[in-house]
Amino acid sequence: MYSTIKSIQLLTALLKKYNINKLVLSPGGSDIPIIHSLENDDFFECHSVVDERSAVYYGIGLAQQTKSPVACICTSGTAVSNYLPGMTEAFYQDVPIVAITADKDPYRLNQLMLQKTQQVNIFESVTKKSVNLPVVRGGNDRWYCERLINEALSELDHHGTGPVHINIPIVENSAVYDCEHLPQVRKINRISPDMSSDKWLEYAEKLSKFKKILVIAGQNNYFSEDDRACVEKFFEKYNCLVSVEHMSNLKCKGCLMTYPLSECSMQGMFGELCPDLIISFGNNIASYKLKPMIKAHKEKFVHWQIDTAGRIRDFSDKLTDVFECTPQYFFNYFAENAPQDSKNDMTYYNMWNDDIKMLDYSSNLPFSNMYVAKKLAEVIPDRSVLHLAILNSTRTMQFFDLKPNVKVYSNIGALGIDGCMSSFFGQASATDELAFCVVGDLSFFYDMNSAGIRGIKNNVRIILLNNGGGSEFHFFMGKEKIPTINQYICAEHHKGAKGWIESLGYDYYSATTKEEVDNIIPTLAEESDRPIFVEIFTDMEKDAKLINKLFHDNRMKFGGMKLKMMEKAKSILSPAQIQKAKKLLKK
């Protein structure tokens, strides 16, 4: 029987998944539920060492002789401190030791609780990875706990061997041992080019069996022609598509701009578009809805991630494998090792492409940020630089195609408004091509001093969308939900940039109508003797309502299409098949 404490169950199950069966156990009170769960399982080989000062050293000798990782487990308080000399020795000898330390209620630190000391990161300078497990009560707690244990255990032999630390707060009743079976756990595997060819061929065989592969390209700064060629080779061999945004900076055969479709859809519309395999690479994605849609259907797919550093970045809650290599290596290897007759039948690609073509978000646009984005996309020359400030500026440009070689940046890594302009000026300084920045008013005024940086070149083009506040919050909430939203949440204002910008030597233009936008925007693509600044005054409430209406209208359009499909299905399907189809549409 195992302890009913979920974090202990997950740890026990993952120790078994990683084949760590040699344990050095020291007596105590806090670690009883851990030790008792482990000693009852025949998988584990237990060694008793009373003195924690000796325990890790004993583990070092055991690990060195058996050439396998060893887990050392102790109670809370000074017992943990007594591990430090041994952990230091393990670190400098590269010995794979797992220090598992029981802990007390984390809320009771420095509150006169017996045997409660600061154990988090106590070995930080002498471990490859140190994690503090959560108290597992809900679904997210479990996912987080499982992920942290994976992160720690996978570091034991990642880029060399060495010790790791897992700290477990125990606040529940530790005397209950009526759990007969450990939970199913997800081991996150790391695969690297130096592994055996048999391992890679095993994945090639798995890959050939997937029929709906969604490749997600996150934010990337650079793709060479060879990189693009490898992606295209992969696309030709497997039933897949490559989901991109402007910040992916990837345009080649197989790529689809999925942002408009995901943002205009509801989770239930994922339906047949749901993949059976996700392959992700690059950094963050701007889409607000793609990741929630994926998580809502996580039981239906497997998730592989390509990461040159081998990091675990689990945005799907379903990551199973991390390929520690470049995207070029990954796509080239699997393209070359695909079955001889393997070919993309385009079915899955066309499912996405057909739905994307159904969208209508650019006809008869009124004067708005969306209208400005549309006109701007039409005139930005090929090979230009485009920096999109976060949130609304990033969103609106995703709906319109750019020239093939426009390089797009955005600070969506941490998604802060504080340095959009500064980053842009750094990018503009390093090119002689035209450089465009689309920025909202709050972001601009936050970072406005950067407009006066010495040496700003004449290739700079700044488009300030000044709608008098944070329109993003109207998009998500609005006055209907929060009547006072403009005062503090949106930080409503009546500022303009004209005086400041003209004092810095920019050519300044402003627009308040579609006609003025139509007249000004084309001039941004022309050479000039000075940097150009265009301030376009829109209304944040109207802008938010327009975006929401576009999303709503397209959702209704998809809903109507599904109803028509259902009516047609009634003429060719049995009642049982219709019921099954209805259930699928709801998912």
Q: What is the mean pLDDT of each run of 10 residues along the chain (587 residues)?
A: 94 98 95 94 97 97 97 96 97 98 88 85 96 92 97 97 97 81 95 94 96 97 93 98 97 96 78 93 94 92 97 96 98 96 96 92 91 97 96 93 96 91 97 97 94 96 95 84 90 94 97 97 96 96 90 76 52 63 52
- What does the alpha-carbon distance between residue 273 and residue 262 come to, in Å, rounded to a whole number? 11
Long-range contacts of 149-154 (CB under 8 A, 24+ apart): 149/10, 149/11, 149/14, 150/14, 150/186, 150/187, 150/188, 150/312, 151/312, 152/98, 153/14, 153/15, 153/18, 153/20, 153/98, 154/18, 154/188, 154/190, 154/312
Q: Tell me the pTM.
A: 0.90
Domain residue spans in the chain? 6-185, 190-358, 369-545, 547-586
Contact partners, residue 269, CB within 8 Å, separation at least 6: 555, 558
On whether the 369-545 domain is CATH 3.30.56.10, my answer is: no
Measured on CA atoms in the order 47, 52, 58, 64, is the torsion positive or negative? positive
Question: What CATH number does domain 6-185 carry, 3.40.50.720, 3.40.640.10, 3.40.50.970, 3.30.1450.10?
Answer: 3.40.50.970
Q: What is the DSSP string of 346-405?
A: SHHHHHHHHHHHH---STT--SSHHHHHHHHHHHPPTT-EEEE-TTHHHHHHTTS---TT
Helices (H), strands (E): how many in the chain?
A: 21, 19
Q: What is the DSSP code (8-state) at residue 88? A: H
pLDDT value for 567: 53
User: What CATH number labels 190-358?
Assistant: 3.40.50.1220
pLDDT value for 109: 81
pLDDT value for 477: 84
pLDDT value for 573: 59
Look at the block and give the residue holding tokens 């690609």: 349
State how beta strands 532-537 and 407-409 pair.
unpaired
Q: What is the DSSP code (8-state) at residue 118? A: -
Consecutive H or E run containing 22: strand 22-25
> Is the CB of residue 189 less than 8 Å from the CB of residue 17?
no
- What does the alpha-carbon distance between residue 327 and residue 310 come to, in Å, rounded to a whole number? 12
- Whole-number Cα distances in Å, 399 to 408, 541, 551: 14, 20, 12
> Is the CB of residue 97 less than 8 Å from the CB of residue 74?
no
Measured on CA atoms in the order 397, 400, 403, 405, is the torsion positive or negative? positive
- What does the alpha-carbon distance between residue 8 and residue 66 come to, in Å, rounded to a whole number? 26
Do the domains 369-545 and 6-185 match in fold?
Answer: yes
- What does the alpha-carbon distance between residue 241 and residue 273 come to, in Å, rounded to a whole number? 11
Residue of 475, 452, 473 lying closest to 462 (CA atoms): 452
What are the beta bridge partners of residue 165? 99, 130
Q: What is the DSSP string of 481-498?
A: T-TTTTTTTS------SH
Sheet holding 277-281, edge to edge: 189-191, 319-323, 302-306, 277-281, 213-217, 240-244, 255-257
- What does the alpha-carbon distance between residue 38 and residue 42 come to, in Å, rounded to a whole number? 8
- What does the alpha-carbon distance between residue 506 and residue 504 come to, in Å, rounded to a whole number? 6
Measured on CA atoms in the order 208, 209, 211, 212, is the torsion positive or negative? negative
pLDDT value for 582: 55
Angle between the 347-358 and 540-570 helix axes, to the nearest 10 degrees?
130
Print burial letters for 90-101: b (CB count within 10 Å at least 16), e (below 16).
Answer: bbeeebbbbbbb
